Structure 1
């Protein structure tokens, strides 16, 4: 397994996106989450990425239960979680709260669910635009000083915001959607992370199933709260996106590889600092994702993939208007 450095810690180049441990893409069980974590450990996948709001703590609880059931596993795993979304009724335009008091209370609750004294990485899940980023970074730095997290990160921030935060305290990672379906990070974020020595943690690297051999069936999408209002999964965009990605699936088949593996290999080709964190409820699909870490795409392969899925091919924005509240737009 290739590796990526995150805040001075060496981790696997592939991680587990644990949003799928909380019914986000369909119902699951703790036993199913355990199976994914078992498969990750066996494959040498050491980074596990969760958040306080995934199932309102359910994802963290599953990880905590697995760690408790597997003595010694903690030493091999790099555990990341996120805070900063206040579902408890913060007043104002958004539910985002990055105040030091809220971030620490959220982390304390996460640590209790995980059964840990310290996480390896603690992100701001969404930036509170009402606070200067320097104050937010300073608050996170104090959590490092207190020994509650080894490193800090941010999710869905702009390159300029990253530079300002990094000037206050080293930022270990920035999480952003990045895949063959969503390439806007190439307009500054990929480069800024590489320059500053920050890991770019790529979520949804297989395009929320569009870049796999088995995209989510159209009849399932209305049952998933996030996707049923997401522009890329609403007709006529969905049919167009499936039609276009059929050629990508054919490209993978011709090479005897799963489409998801090619999508992961493409992400890894973007730089040694890129760490994709796909989520799945299927151990068979997880094996396809791990396979992607073993594939090196040639220049000819990359050129052909770019011909099949040129920048901007996707129909529909990656978020609806409501879903865009919080992530920073920078281009």
Structure 2
């Protein structure tokens, strides 16, 4: 697989990474052996960047990765995230004591003494970003992390953070139906030498070869209460996606591969991290790196799925707490 730089002067990783939230059952039952098989096959495909977080199964995703890397040391560039506390209620914490405790726990579960990239999963608005950055810089100076990442932030936060210390990567949601980062964040990352890491590049499964059916979602499925998957929004969105699906199939591409390829063509500093827990989906995702989209292909996609086509907000009011707004 083609490689891309994870931030200016950062490590080279496969152009398509792997989000590991599904290992913890976020979108349906997960099988530990299946997840380990996915990790093995990822290496075969050249997918070398893994993204996880403490809250993915309360550390379960990290434990599964740790079990694999114990026998395959140094093969993956691993990123994990901290800053969201789930107890006693969900809230954000960027204070030094918690971030250190969280990082030490992640390193233990991953079975490593160093992680290549450590993100603030969400901004704690009670802690100035400059103070949070100083904490992360100390972790880097101690050799516990290789680079600093920020997630779901606004361009102005990135500017302030980079004034303290270079940031390796920013991870925000970005796909054909979630295009807010185009209004300043992707450009700021490029200007500042920061990798932009789109999560949910296949729109939480909406960009699939087989149409999704929200009636099959479990009560614990994130999408169950998501406005875009609820009627009447879902029916309207499905009509747009059907056209995109036909476009992909006419050209012999899978729908998820084309959706991911589109993100890759938005800039050389983009490294999407589609999530999956199955080998067939992993192979589709990885195939995106081999799709060469011509200018006319990008224009056709823009006509089929114009910016703003999605019906419904990307988050419900409850889900929207945390990501920074800037437009």
TM-score when scaled to structure 2? 0.97
**Contact 2:214 / 2:224 at 8 angstroms: preserved in 1?**
no
Match of 2:65 in 1: 63
SS of equivalent residue, structure 1 residue 312: coil
- Aligned-residue offset at 1:222: 4.6
1:137 pairs with one of 133, 139, 142:
133
Matches within 5 A, 1:121-200: 121-200=117-196
**Contact 2:35 / 2:278 at 8 angstroms: preserved in 1?**
no
For 1:89 and 1:28, locate their aligned partners in 2 and report how far apart those are by CA, in whole Å.
26
SS of equivalent residue, structure 1 residue 123: strand
For 2:243 and 2:212, locate their aligned partners in 1 and report how far apart those are by CA, in whole Å.
17
In the alignment, structure 2 segments of 5+ residues that lack a partner are none
**Contact 2:149 / 2:169 at 8 angstroms: preserved in 1?**
yes
Count of matched residue positions in the alignment of Structure 1 and Structure 2: 325
In the alignment, structure 1 segments of 5+ residues that lack a partner are none
For 1:306 and 1:159, locate their aligned partners in 2 and report how far apart those are by CA, in whole Å.
25
**Contact 1:4 / 1:199 at 8 angstroms: preserved in 2?**
no
For 1:145 and 1:89, locate their aligned partners in 2 and report how far apart those are by CA, in whole Å.
32
Alignment partner of 1:4 is 2:4: yes
Residues 263-299 of structure 1: CA distance to partner in whole angstroms, max 9, x if unpaired?
A: 1110000101001000112211111111111001000
TM-score when scaled to structure 1? 0.96
Aligned structure 1 segments of 4 or more residues deviating by more than 4 angstroms:
none
- Aligned-residue offset at 1:76: 2.1
1:233 pairs with one of 200, 224, 229:
229
For 1:192 and 1:134, locate their aligned partners in 2 and report how far apart those are by CA, in whole Å.
18
For 2:60 and 2:292, locate their aligned partners in 1 and report how far apart those are by CA, in whole Å.
36
Matches within 5 A, 1:1-331: 1-7=1-7, 8-68=10-70, 70=71, 73-89=72-88, 95-331=91-327
Higher mean C-alpha deviation, range 212-221 or range 269-278: 212-221
For 2:157 and 2:247, locate their aligned partners in 1 and report how far apart those are by CA, in whole Å.
38
